[in-house]
A = this chain, B = another copy of it.
Amino acid sequence: MRMGEGVEWGLHCCVTLGWLRDEGPVPIGRLAAWFDLPQEYLKKRLQALTKAGILTSTPGVRGGFALARPPERITLMDVVAALEGAAELFRCEEIRQRGAGAEGARFSGPCGIAAAMRRAEMAWRRELAAQTIADLMAEAPASGERTRRNYARLRA
């Protein structure tokens, strides 16, 4: 069980778009070159973020991607859910109700195993939801400054 690499890409792109928010939309080719990533596949991932309402995409010759909301209102949980699906990590198939072991059982309450796994997963989600893109931006102001400088030079 591992997370897709698109999550790292999406988070870095969101932080970068947060820093370049005053510069207007950033085209996908620029972002791909920025991190040396496969352009077409990165586009596919950003499209998922767009569908989830995290990014906005504007077509046309001066188009590109941009944040749909202020960075303070975008949590890591939003990005992960958009890119990896909102489904839970552990899926209970209720195997306790099948086979010879279920002979003469009622199963009133929920499955204890599923409940325990759910508790752990909720702790994970809570931590993810507590961090925002703005927090990540605040942690590295120097990188923000450099990003704006490099981007302005590329644009010129």
Binding site for B on A (CB under 8 A): 1-5, 7-9, 11-12, 15-16, 33-37, 76, 84-85, 87, 89-93, 95-96, 98-101, 103-105, 112-113, 116-117, 119-121, 123-128, 131, 135-136, 139-140, 143, 146-147, 150, 154
Q: A140's closest neighbor in chain B, by CB? A: B112
Please indicate the chain B residues that have their CB under 8 angstroms from the CB of A90 in the complex: 3, 7-8
Q: What are 11 A-B residue pairs whose CB atoms fall within 8 Å in the complex?
A: A1-B2, A1-B85, A8-B91, A8-B92, A12-B113, A33-B100, A35-B96, A103-B146, A112-B136, A123-B126, A124-B127
The answer on a CB contact under 8 Å between B150 and A103 is: yes
The answer on a CB contact under 8 Å between A37 and B95 is: yes
Please indicate the chain B residues that have their CB under 8 angstroms from the CB of A100 in the complex: 33-34, 36, 150, 154
Shortest Cβ gap from A38 to chain B (Å): 12
- Chain A, interface SS category: helix
The answer on a CB contact under 8 Å between A113 and B136 is: yes
Q: A33's closest neighbor in chain B, by CB? A: B100
Q: A147's closest neighbor in chain B, by CB? A: B101
